[in-house]
Chains A and B, each alone.
Chain A
Amino acid sequence: MTTPVLEIRNLHARIDEREILKGVNLIIPPGEVHAIMGRNGSGKSTLSYVLAGKEDYEVTEGEILLNGENILEMEPDERAAAGLFLAFQYPIEIPGVATMTFLKAALNAQRKARGEEELKTPDFMRLVKEAGSQLNIDNDMLKRPLNVGFSGGEKKRAEIMQMALLKPSLAVLDETDSGLDIDALQVVSKGVNALRDGQRSMLVITHYQRLLNHIVPDVVHVFSDGKIVESGDKDLALKLEAKGYASYGGEAA
């Protein structure tokens, strides 16, 4: 059996004294795209932060294996170098740091962590140009401070561009459709689909079924009250859209 790209075993996590993840189990084999759907407050975004290693959350039980390796003891930058990428629901604005400078630092830091040589500037520029052109990101945008003054669509396109450059083995997309109009959604989805290569796995976290028309998942999981309560194929998403989350219990957010 091939090693799954992601394996989550009985994951429990809390913030302050409040338990949010209550026993998550999930296996994503190489090349598969899994979607997690659930109502607001069900713990979907927490799962993405815990995967990426945000300090505020404390894992009390369970394991997260990335390509067979337990990543729970790793810092966020080490997880990134190990092949994890989180596309943020709300990308952070960082004044004074040019997007281009940031991209170069990120790429080279990951290469260094993997024992690879740093990219030469012309090679880096070529990679950025290629990745940018597919997502309608021009040089002017790259010269601006990271995410500062970017529109909602620009921020999400920039996230996908980072993903394209960093080539993770697992991409976690947290509510990537939020704040996007239909045109922007298509550009972003096209960017994501271009990165489906049969090897890279993805975990698409979303509130609405709409995104899954564009990024068609192999498996859909329903998330409720801190764990996965049902899994199925892409038709499960349509069923959810029609019926809502009410049948899974808990209170509406």
Chain B
Amino acid sequence: MRANFPVRLGPAEDALIAQLKAAGADAAAERITVAGLPTRRVESYHYTDLKTLLRAIPPLATAANEASAPALRIPGAFNLMIANGAIQNAATAPAGVIVGKAEGGVLTTRDDVLVHVNGALAREALTLTLENSVDPVIQVERRIEGEAAHVADALKIFVADDASATIVETFSGSDAAHVGNHATYLSAGKNAVVTHITIDLSARAVSHFATNEYQLADGAKLRTLVIHAGAGLARTHVFPRMAGAGAHADLTGLNLVADGQHADITMETLHAVPHTSSQPLFKSIVRGRAKAVVQGKLVVARDAQKTDAKFMHQGLMLSDEAEILSKPELEIYADDVVCGHGSTCGMIDEDSLFYLMSRGIPKPEAETMLVRGFIAELLDPIEDEELNEALQGIVDGWLMSGK
């Protein structure tokens, strides 16, 4: 039985409701008025209680008239930028890349407050159509500049049949208490081979939310990598829909969190048709008093026989106060599938450390080697050398900042 007490709304909710109403999104405003922001009593927000963690919503962003330095440079990449929600003019696109704009949100509606808010507030979406294989890495920089601002932006990517591409999104900007709510929808055509990487490099003061939705056609191969290495509060949704036979997704992610940070990767993969596979592999490294969360749900539709999927989350704790939370979920309606899940958590292995030190490697360096080794599984498959180096640089930077 559930008592129907009115929910007490806080300043963050009041601000959000006002912004939604002003945007004409009455339904979204009404939902928050009735239910408030999700608390830990909402299963999908059990470990990331937004009502507690999100204390304020700053005003909606106005145009950016200053710019911080790029957070990540990938040599040779084709760059696009969305600053404070506005799509910036880009250089000439490589052959086969069509850059455009579309109105409104890009995500499929689902019962999630961040998805609702993005849909209501994102005014225009950057669209990328890749008609054939694209060699250079495509980098989409999403910035929030200036005074503390609330930004909802959107990106829609179509990758044609048989095409291959690597798309990297970086999130950064000024050091203010921004709330970013970012959406990406990526559709991979038949036999397309796509790598999609999203890296949060925002300032500590920022609350970073991103939803990555994927649609995979027959034989499409997708590799995703989420890296949380910036915001004080970060949550990224990974929502793939395996919609064509032979589709495969390597869904990976890395939470790098230190003192006071909270990072959450929440995946829900739908295996909608027979003969699809996914390999979700997430890692969390936590030092100081900080929290990393990974939730991984595999949903297998009734007729999606021969689904092969295994969720894995591995945690490495570099301090006694570190907290790593892992929630695997299986929701399987077919009867001929191979699905599983696993979670591990531990500190740096003392025997490994002793072995490296016994060869003359000092302790800090030996620890760094072991942490890099722990992450190698996620970075090694990124074949583009410059990109791989850039990613390794982010990890090294994070490790060095703790020494």
A→B interface (CB under 8 Å): 52-55, 75-77, 79-81, 85-86, 88, 91-92, 94-97, 101-102, 105-107, 109-110, 113, 145, 162, 166
Contact = CB atoms under 8 A, between A and B. Distances in A.
A99 B365 CA distance: 16
Most chain B Cβ neighbours within 10 Å, of A79, A101, A109, A166:
A109
Contact of B355 (A75, A92, A101, A145): A92
A80 B352 contact: no
12 contacts: A76-B354, A77-B357, A77-B363, A86-B358, A88-B355, A91-B355, A92-B354, A94-B370, A96-B377, A107-B360, A110-B360, A113-B360
A105 B361 contact: yes
B239 interface: no
Interface of B: 350-352, 354-363, 365-366, 369-370, 372-377
A76 B357 CA distance: 6
Q: Is the interface of B mostly helix, strand, loop or mixed?
A: helix
A162 B360 CA distance: 11
Nearest to B369: A97
B350 to A, nearest CB: 7
Most chain B Cβ neighbours within 10 Å, of A81, A94, A113:
A94
A242 B375 CA distance: 52
A95 B373 contact: yes
Most chain B Cβ neighbours within 10 Å, of A53, A102, A162:
A102
B396 to A, nearest CB: 14
A110 B357 CA distance: 10
A3 B41 CA distance: 72
A113 B362 CA distance: 9
B372 A96 contact: yes
Contact of B352 (A76, A94, A162, A166): A94
B372 A97 contact: yes
A231 to B, nearest CB: 27
Given A75-B363, A92-B352, A96-B376, A105 B369 contact: yes
Contacts of A77: 357-363, 366
Contact of A80 (B357, B363, B369, B374): B357
A27 to B, nearest CB: 23
B359 A80 contact: yes
Nearest to B366: A77
Given A92-B354, A105-B365, 18 more contacts: A52-B354, A55-B350, A76-B358, A77-B359, A80-B357, A80-B360, A85-B358, A92-B351, A92-B355, A95-B374, A97-B370, A97-B376, A102-B356, A102-B359, A105-B361, A106-B360, A109-B360, A109-B365
